[in-house]
Amino acid sequence: MIKFKLLILSLFILVSISTSAKDTQILIVTGGHDFDRELFFKMFDSFDAISYTELKHPEANLQLGQIDPTTYDAVVFYDMPKSISEAEKESYHKLLKLGKGLVFLHHSLASYQDWDEYVTIIGGKYHEEQNSPHSSTYQHNVTFPVMIKDSKNPVTKGIADFEILDEVYGNTEVLPKVTVLLTTNNPKSSAIIGWTHTKEKSRIVYIQPGHDYHSWTNPHYQQIVRQAIEFVSEK
């Protein structure tokens, strides 16, 4: 009987250790654009087996290069800073060299308008310049279909086409080499609204929706974000 109890106890300890050790650790970078913090982080709180630490601008970019890389698996960007220093760029080079997974959400497509290399990291660009053929556009409170381009991809597996109420971006740049994951047929939106690609050793995913709680509470959106984090975190 005692032996049996010991066995149960050790099994319990083993299971507890393995669950916490298996947790995917992510950094979430914020700053440069307003958002409802409470409801945004509520989505990440709901993800089983994903733990997060928030890094805020203006410190975030240098911190990204300083934090022990063995303590996290991926970085989620929900930020939109305007400028970046040469020292801060080094943090990004380090992430790519290490092969850290990167997930970019929504307005992060408009970050660092003058840093050309950023486009090659995220895989596209929201062009803020005005009165040019390249000018991107936005419109709030649009209900539009999100179409799954490849339901076998780890990011979109198990998800059928769905509708979402969010902000759309039009006339955005998407690099031709990305693998398209999500599209829409809404005329105010660019057709491609989600993709994945790799740069150096990093897996990278961009997901265009995510302006506010309408998306953060949408179970299909939540599943895409969670599966994107899991996919880019794989070694």
Closest-CA residue to 92 (of 110, 127, 116): 116
Q: Which is nearer to Zn ion, 88 or 167 (CB)?
A: 167
- Kindly tell me which of 167 and 230 has the beta carbon lying closer to Zn ion: 167
Binding range to Zn ion, per CB under 5 A, among 19-27, 77-85, 159-167, 179-187: 159-167
With CB under 5 A as the rule, give the number of residues binding Zn ion. 2
CB of residue 167 to Zn ion, shortest distance in Å: 4
Q: Which stretch binds Zn ion (CB under 5 A): 59-67, 70-78, 112-120, 163-171?
A: 163-171
Pick the closer one to Zn ion by CB: 34 or 86.
Answer: 34
Minimum CB–partner distance for residue 118 and Zn ion (Å): 18
Shortest reach from residue 70's CB to Zn ion, in Å: 34
Give the binding range for Zn ion (CB under 5 A) out of 24-32, 111-119, 150-158, 162-170.
162-170
DSSP track, 188-231: TS-SEEEEEEEETTEEEEEE---SSHHHHT-HHHHHHHHHHHHH
CB of 107 to Zn ion, least distance (A): 5
- Please give the Cα distance from 139 to 123 (Å, whole number): 22
In this complex, which beta carbon is closest to Zn ion, that of residue 100 or of residue 211? 211
Q: Specify the DSSP class assigned to residue 23.
A: P
Which DSSP state fits 26?
Answer: E
> Which residues, 6+ apart, have CB-to-CB distance to 119 below 8 Å?
125, 173, 175
Please report whether residue 167 would count as binding Zn ion according to CB under 5 A: yes
Burial class (CB in 10 A: 0-12, 13-18, 19+), 38: exposed
Give the whole-angstrom CA distance, residue 57 versus residue 48.
27
Q: Which stretch binds Zn ion (CB under 5 A): 58-66, 152-160, 166-174, 186-194?
A: 166-174
What end-to-end distance do the CA atoms of the chain give, in Å?
A: 43
Q: Using CB under 5 A, which of 211, 229, 230, 232 touches Zn ion?
A: 211
Q: What Rg value do the Cα atoms of the chain yield, rounded?
A: 19
Residue nearest to Zn ion as judged by C-beta position: 211
Q: Which residues contact Zn ion by CB under 5 A? A: 167, 211
